[in-house]
Amino acid sequence: MLIIDSPTEFTVASTSKLQRSLPPSPPPAPPPAPSRNNLEPLSAYSCPICFFPPTNATLTPCGHVCCGPCLFTAVKTMAQRGVMAGERGVPRCPVCRAQIPGWDGRGGGVIGLKVRAMFSL
């Protein structure tokens, strides 16, 4: 057996075949579980419409966090402009223009956030 001073061990068999044996690798570490250290306060975010920390924070289906009043005003204005432009008043996210299914103008289709912090993954 021929051993080379490295993390890799080489063995020479009698049939002149070179066999390489690597040291076993440790299993991958599991991802850290969410903890209080991974939380960010909701006030650390800013509404993409008014650029202030969200008041009555609301989450759109596409994942954007906005102030409730800002979101409702923006969606209503966009829908009215769409009707005036000859399009149907389809409710859309003011950030990415994705449709908001279930929008009824009273909170349907979006989620009001009443949490103190959000996970940052």
Give domain status of residue 2, yes or no: no
Q: How far lies 53's CA from each of 80, 85, 110, in Å?
A: 27, 33, 18
CATH number where 106 lies: 3.30.40.10
In a domain? residue 5:
no
1: in domain: no
- Quote the tokens at residue 73: 């005003």
Q: Is residue 28 part of a domain?
A: no
Q: Compute the half-sphere exposure of residue 114: CA atoms within 13 Å on the CB side of its CA.
A: 1
* Structural domain count of the chain: 1
The reply to whether 77 falls in a domain is yes
Domain-embedded: residue 30: no
For the entire predicted model, the pTM comes to 0.56
Residue 72 within any structural domain of the chain: yes
What would the DSSP string read from start to end of 86-105? TS----B-TTT--B-TT--S
User: pLDDT band at 31, cuts 50/70/90?
Assistant: low
The mean pLDDT value for 52-56 works out to 88
Q: Is residue 102 part of a domain?
A: yes
Q: Is the model more confident about 20 or about 56?
A: 56
State which residues form the domain around 57.
39-119
Residue 51 has pLDDT above 90, yes or no: yes
Pick the more confident residue, 15 or 113.
Answer: 113
State residue 77's pLDDT score.
87
